[in-house]
Amino acid sequence: MEKILDKFLLYISFDTASDPESQTQPSTTKQFALLEVLLKELHQLGVADASLDEYGYVMASIPSNMDKKVPAIGFIAHVDTSPDASGRDIRPQIIRQYDGKPVLLNKAKELYLDPAEFPELLSYKGQTLITTDGTTLLGADDKAGVAAIMSAVQYLMAHPEVKHGPVKIAFTPDEEIGRGVAKFDVKRFGADYAYTIDGGQIGEMEYENFNAAMARIHIQGRNIHPGYAKGKMINALIIGTELNNMLPVEQRPEFTDHYEGFFHIISFRGTVEEAELSYIIRDHDLSKFEQKKKLMQEIAGFLNQKYGRCVTLEIKDQYFNMRTQVEPYMHIVEKAANAMKAAGITPIVHPIRGGTDGAQLSYRGLPCPNIFAGGHNFHGKMEYLPLESMEKASEVILRIIEEYTLI
């Protein structure tokens, strides 16, 4: 466990936040710093063909050592962290032999990781927790996945007697902003099937996810001195608030779970003269997803009729539910479930209330379910990671590889 812990602590020391406003690939050049470290580490482990391209993709192969042909299996994790919270100067806390009591994250902020709010903590009594210091995110999403893959690679390279087929490795940028595989060369990667190691709690496995879109709204108001504004002012902030209030309240993230979709406002900034709003739109059901996009278009149309043509709406699809692409290859899900059981883990199969690189890859001919990396409370200062869960993720990777040797 100490080896995988050292890897994780090294990886989270790099600030790799992606930037949704950037048009470059990757969206932030600072992601290259970690990617270059991973490239060097792969070479040091003896993975000779490891490479890093201009778009921020590290790809590597471990050749088969078997005398029969078996499928090439890929494992993928992303290096970027969410821009929703700072990933700079992360100061992790390591809580050994967790006793089930509230964990003090930050004394000055009186911030605790409390089982009363996060009851799943009690499942990890006696284990080692890695937490934040209450000022940044932790980066387990998805550097726990990166560490799990690299630990598995290290084991394979150190134990050539272990039989395995072709193993493909990839580390990607920009997953958190939906562009993780925008320029990913599936053919060059060379896997028949793949798994993203990007899930949450131990045992999680997912092969269905949200259909996803991004909506950007520009409101052009008209500012007039408030003392003389009657019948003349068009307040962009008021119109933006009205638009948001016309969306169904019960379809906000804080009121939904399981297969329920949502509208989520992620930014609202502006002045009386001009305002910008950004939303993400999510639903597992494709028809409901289309209805959500249509509703937003209807609201924009209504406000344009009411106030004159002041609202400009742009909706862009991001990714789609991978279930339809994975179901014809359910044996890859079954093999992952068998691998978990062999590792003493009960599989928890449920839909992702989000997305992964695997969703887009599945639509590009590479069926790619998602496997747990072990973390909880991603994207914020309450994020934490049980060390034993990350270690089990690495074991599951090795056992998945073993499953394919039995074909």
**Which residues are known catalytic residues?**
80, 175
CA 164, CA 225: separation in Å to the nearest integer? 73
Which residues, at least 6 apart from 260, have a Cβ–Cβ distance to it below 8 Å? 251
| AA letter at 248 | P
Which residues, at least 6 apart from 331, have a Cβ–Cβ distance to it below 8 Å? none
| DSSP string across 222-250 | B---GGG-TTT-B-HHHHHHHHHHHS-GG
Burial status of residue 253 (CB atoms within 10 A of its CB: 0-12, 13-18, 19 or more): middle
| AA letter at 97 | Q
| DSSP symbol at 296 | H
User: From residue 309, how far is each of 38, 210, 306 by CA, in Å?
Assistant: 51, 32, 9
Give the count of beta carbons closer than 10 Å to the beta carbon of residue 359.
Answer: 31
User: From residue 180, how far is each of 19, 53, 366, 374, 380 by CA, in Å?
Assistant: 12, 14, 15, 20, 20
CA atoms within 13 A on the CB side of 204: 23
CA 136, CA 146: separation in Å to the nearest integer? 19
The answer to whether 282 and 264 have CB atoms below 8 angstroms apart is yes
Tokens encoding 47: 């993975």
| Cis upstream peptide for 142 (omega within 30°) | yes
| DSSP symbol at 75 | E
The answer to whether 358 and 194 have CB atoms below 8 angstroms apart is yes
User: From residue 133, how far is each of 87, 113, 373, 392, 405 by CA, in Å?
Assistant: 12, 10, 21, 25, 43
Which residues, at least 6 apart from 87, have a Cβ–Cβ distance to it below 8 Å? 15, 16, 17, 81, 136, 137, 139
